[in-house]
């Protein structure tokens, strides 16, 4: 079903608090911006992306994940790798059904085949990005450097230390 973006903020707030101030990743595209604005002053454990402001020549943070022509392939490629390498096991039938109908069109754009949906595929891909880029210091903590944390995780995976724990994240 669908939920209004401002009402979704209430759900994110409830679930975040229920799960011990869980880190929440909300997409900043389209209606997600409404959700983020409703959460901004009510919940602090939100994903923040680092951007470089060309004009001021400074780094700054913005709330929410932004899916763009640059980040969309990253999401899909990361999800494909995680599934292929057994880092993620999908047991939900509806998500599996969407994954089976997810392909590339003639222009190389990934998405659902005609008449199918891909909402669950992108939700899973975003969840993987949040797991990868999320806090490394325990529940709700913001990472000092998401890029460094990601590189550390990739090194851990490369070295094959499966089952290793990294500040609350289990490498699977």
Structure tokens at 11: 């759900």
Residue-wise pLDDT tens digits, 59-95: 999 999 999 999 999 999 999 999 999 999 999 999 9
In angstroms, the CA 127 to CA 143 distance is 17
In angstroms, the CA 125 to CA 80 distance is 9
| DSSP category for residue 139 | T
In angstroms, the CA 67 to CA 110 distance is 13
Mean pLDDT within 131-136? 85
CA-wise closest residue to 110 among 64, 78, 77 = 77
Q: Which residues touch 114 (CB under 8 Å, ≥6 apart)? A: none
Please give the backbone phi and psi of residue 99, each rounded to the nearest 5 degrees, phi first. Answer: -60, -35
The pLDDT assigned to 23 comes to: 94
Structure tokens at 141: 């903590």
3-class state of residue 82 by DSSP: helix
Q: The tokens 């595209």 sit on which residue?
A: 29
The pLDDT assigned to 2 comes to: 85
Nearest 5°: the CA angle 144, 149, 153 is 165
Residue-wise pLDDT tens digits, 139-160: 444 444 555 555 565 666 666 5
Please give the backbone phi and psi of residue 30, each rounded to the nearest 5 degrees, phi first. Answer: 45, -125
Q: What is the DSSP string of 32-58?
A: HHHHHHHHTTT---B-EEEEEETTTTE
CA-wise closest residue to 152 among 130, 127, 169 = 169
């Amino acid at each position: 079903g669908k939920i209004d973006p401002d009402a979704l903020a209430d759900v994110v707030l409830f679930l975040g608090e229920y799960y011990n101030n869980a880190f929440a990743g909300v997409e900043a595209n389209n209606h997600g911006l409404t959700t983020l604005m409703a959460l901004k002053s009510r919940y602090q454990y939100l994903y923040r992306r680092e951007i470089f402001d060309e004009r001021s020549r400074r780094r700054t943070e913005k709330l929410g994940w932004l899916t763009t022509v640059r980040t969309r392939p990253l999401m899909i490629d990361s999800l494909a790798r995680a599934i292929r390498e057994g880092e993620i096991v999908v047991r939900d039938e509806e998500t599996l059904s969407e994954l089976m109908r997810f392909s590339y069109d003639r222009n190389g754009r990934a998405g659902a085949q005609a008449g199918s949906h891909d909402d669950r595929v992108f939700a899973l891909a975003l969840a993987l990005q949040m797991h990868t880029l999320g806090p490394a210091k325990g529940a709700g903590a913001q990472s000092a450097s998401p890029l460094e944390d990601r590189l550390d995780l990739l090194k851990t995976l490369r070295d094959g230390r499966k089952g290793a724990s990294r500040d609350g994240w289990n490498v699977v």
